[in-house]
Chains A and B, each alone.
Chain A
């Protein structure tokens, strides 16, 4: 069984037990996240430090709201590397971020199916 990358108790507290709002946030996340993740990939590929900072910052905020602490920390790490201009050291952290993000997306899909049921 895979470890949980989203803290549902924390998310429920954040939405004050409003299941409709939680579902809304998950749907928004599913729609918005791939776009920002793609922007991050492109910025890393083109070694655009400010692009990395901007995309990683947005992802960090979004992931924090979703109570996905591990993924938010990985985005924060990318943001900091971008700020420090360590543009050549982003490959490994990006791969790590993508791995967590993939698992997060899977778990959010499961949650959505559960909430919708």
Chain B
């Protein structure tokens, strides 16, 4: 465990450093309060600190106050070292944000015991943060595919659409549906169906950029937002995704299962300001058109009255777009 010692007096510093290194700590020793505050405010700085009360530049309580102002980093457990034993001094030290204090000259066993208390507090904090992160993950991700869940992907899409509109950019919305998924479940069983969904999610994630969003929209429906997407290439990217999905069968415990995906595609720039519900209805209609056209293809949601409702992206269209 990394820890920091701050003391301007060299015998104290050496004594503390050696005692604590022997106890297994990875010690950084500094000679004034300013250096101590700078070290402790680093995001990956030590989380355990022994601070002399009287130091040049910044005293121990001053270091505590600075560190407590820093809200982004993990909790730092700070012990003040003091030869002051008056009640008001102790109260002032703890009031500055110190967790404990130790009177000089220190007893090595007492010092180590106090630091073990600090370690227990830090360990407790780590476990609480881990539990919170687990809960946050569970609340935002689909448990089977680990994609964003429906609520989160909708929020992300809404934010991204607003941003695109503000910045005059385009977001491409893809709604994909695994073809014949019911038949996969019926033929190979639901466990194999789950494996197919997981692998499809993995392939989808691997075929988009790190700043695109992929979420599970429904049973076997997956929603993808391609952010800041050049409209000229959106068709090709949707095609690439479709091809990646269908590239090879999914290996499952029930054997290899070929998969394909029908995709509806909508370019936000072509639709202007619209409620997200309307856009999702349109892209859903395009997906339906892709299913109707024989599956394993991409259809584009077209906004213009009189235009065909959706255009199949044929090999010829792809060639022209290139």
**Closest beta carbon of chain B to A28's beta carbon, Å:** 5
Interface 9-mer from A12-20, A38-46, A88-96, A99-107: A12-20
Please tell me the size bucket of the interface on B.
Answer: 10 to 19
* Residues of chain B contacted by A67 (CB below 8 angstroms): 105
Question: A58 contacts which of B8, B14, B18 (Cβ < 8 Å)?
Answer: B8
* Residues of chain A contacted by B15 (CB below 8 angstroms): 14-15, 21, 25, 65
B164 on interface, CB distance cutoff 8 Å: no
The answer to whether A16 touches B11, judged by C-beta atoms less than 8 angstroms apart, is no
Give residues in B with beta carbon < 8 Å to A. 8-12, 14-15, 18-19, 22, 52, 54, 83, 104-105, 107-108
Please tell me the size bucket of the interface on A.
Answer: 20 to 34
The residue in B11, B22, B107 that gathers the most chain A C-beta atoms within 10 A of its C-beta is B11
A49 on interface, CB distance cutoff 8 Å: no
A66 on interface, CB distance cutoff 8 Å: yes
CA distance A39 to B186 in the complex (A): 90
CA distance A64 to B102 in the complex (A): 14
Per-residue B-contact encoding for A1-45, CB less than 8 Å = 1, 0 else: 000000000000111101001001100110010000000000000
- A contact face: mostly helix, strand, loop, or mixed: helix
* Residues of chain A contacted by B107 (CB below 8 angstroms): 14
CA distance A25 to B105 in the complex (A): 14
* Residues of chain A contacted by B19 (CB below 8 angstroms): 15-16
The answer to whether A28 touches B14, judged by C-beta atoms less than 8 angstroms apart, is yes
The answer to whether A18 touches B18, judged by C-beta atoms less than 8 angstroms apart, is yes
Closest residue of chain A to B84 (Cβ to Cβ) is A57
A21/B105 contact (C-beta < 8 A), A58-B9, A62-B12 known: no
* Residues of chain A contacted by B52 (CB below 8 angstroms): 61
CA distance A29 to B105 in the complex (A): 15
CA distance A32 to B7 in the complex (A): 14
* Residues of chain B contacted by A65 (CB below 8 angstroms): 9, 11-12, 15, 104-105
The answer to whether A29 touches B108, judged by C-beta atoms less than 8 angstroms apart, is no
